Amino acid sequence: MRVGLFVTCLVDLMRPRIGFATLRLLEAAGCEVVIPEGQTCCGQPAFSAGDRVAAAALAKKLIAEFEGFTYVVVPSGSCADQIRNEYAGLLAAEPDWQARAQALSPRVFELTDFLTRVAQVEQLPGTFRGSITYHDSCAGLRHLDIKQQPRQLLARLPGVELREMVGAEECCGFGGAFSIKFGAISAAIAERKCDKATATTADAIVGGDLGCLLNIEGKLRRLGDETTRVLHVAEVLAGDC
């Protein structure tokens, strides 16, 4: 199957190795993977800020770049949610574009959802050994029902011990612009998340959205924790960590 990989702007700018790990996983699953070179942002930041003009322009750009693929895979629940669930409404005033958004929507998948439900992988290249605790990001969990998929995949790695934290489904405090507009509240939420995660004594905190992971790792380090690793699930599954 021919898959278009939407890397996401945050992964591209802050942790490109997640993109390479995603590529490795998709190729191991037997996919022909194409990464459009002109891709940029899904438009979620503009959409969340109320700039519908900019969000619509970015939506059209992404649709044009990715609508030719059998599937579109995204290593981020929040970006996948934006493309899958928001584009059609955003472009409602332009019927042709709305129709193209609606046609693309069911072919857009968050990475772990794609690997479990579409590719149905049985073996993974990862060799991680140690204990992890998993953080469920808000958009992936609530808008895409991403809960068991990453855990099913991680369970296929014989060296991984999953230690569930209390409040795994609670927000990390990032929320995109929320962490900037409401810094004190965001910091308090992040500290609570870090406390619950480190209470498991797991070697690593793992999640599926880089925004969450950057927020958690930043708070951990400011709290003086220099040992707990913070990893994207793609890195663990692919062995790139």
Taking only the tens place, the pLDDT of each residue in 61-116 is: 999 999 999 999 999 999 999 999 999 999 999 999 999 999 999 999 999 999 99
Residue range 123-130: average pLDDT?
96
Domain count, the chain: 2
Q: Of the candidates 119, 126, 162, which has an alpha carbon nearest to the alpha carbon of residue 237?
A: 126
**One domain, residues 106 and 175:** no
Q: What is the pLDDT of residue 241?
A: 77
**One domain, residues 112 and 163:** no
Query: 């899904």: which residue's tokens?
Result: 42
Question: Does residue 153 carry a pLDDT above 80?
Answer: yes
CATH code assigned at 86: 3.40.50
Q: What is the pLDDT of residue 178?
A: 78
Residue range 197-223: average pLDDT?
97
Q: Which range marks the domain in which residue 203 is found?
A: 130-238
Q: Is residue 190 in some structural domain?
A: yes
Identify the burial level of 143 via C-beta atoms within 10 angstroms of its C-beta, where 0-12 means exposed, 13-18 middle and 19 or more buried.
middle
- Where is the domain boundary, 70, 94, 118? 118
**One domain, residues 82 and 149:** no
**One domain, residues 38 and 106:** yes
β-pairing, 108-110 vs 130-135, is unpaired
**One domain, residues 7 and 108:** yes
For the chain, count helices (H), then strands (E): 14, 8
Instruction: Report the C-alpha gap between 94 and 141 in whole angstroms.
Output: 30
Q: Is residue 68 in some structural domain?
A: yes
Helix axes 210-222, 183-198, angle to 10 degrees: 80
Q: What's the predicted TM-score (pTM) here?
A: 0.96
**One domain, residues 84 and 171:** no
Kindly report the CA angle at 177 between 175 and 178, in degrees rounded to 5? 55
pLDDT band at 130 (very low <50, low <70, confident <90, very high): very high
Q: What is the pLDDT of residue 176?
A: 73
Q: Is residue 123 in some structural domain?
A: no
Neighbours of 10 (CB within 10 A): 22
Q: Is residue 125 in some structural domain?
A: no
- Where is the domain boundary, 92, 118, 144? 118
pLDDT band at 133 (very low <50, low <70, confident <90, very high): very high
Residue range 142-157: average pLDDT?
98
Q: How far apart are the first and last CA of the chain?
A: 27
- Where is the domain boundary, 86, 118, 150? 118
**One domain, residues 138 and 102:** no
Instruction: Report the C-alpha gap between 71 and 108 in whole angstroms.
Output: 6
**One domain, residues 89 and 171:** no
Residue range 119-147: average pLDDT?
97
**One domain, residues 148 and 205:** yes
Q: What is the pLDDT of residue 17?
A: 97
Q: Of the candidates 111, 139, 131, which has an alpha carbon nearest to the alpha carbon of residue 212?
A: 139
pLDDT tens profile 92-106: 999 999 999 999 999
Q: Is residue 124 in some structural domain?
A: no
Which tokens belong to 10? 């945050």
Q: Of the candidates 221, 14, 214, 158, which has an alpha carbon nearest to the alpha carbon of residue 231?
A: 214
Q: Is residue 28 in some structural domain?
A: yes
Q: What percent of the chain has pLDDT over 70?
A: 100
**One domain, residues 25 and 110:** yes
Neighbours of 91 (CB within 10 A): 22
**One domain, residues 181 and 202:** yes
Question: Does residue 2 carry a pLDDT above 90?
Answer: yes
pLDDT tens profile 156-166: 999 999 999 99
Q: Is residue 170 in some structural domain?
A: yes
**One domain, residues 104 and 141:** no
Q: Is residue 172 in some structural domain?
A: yes
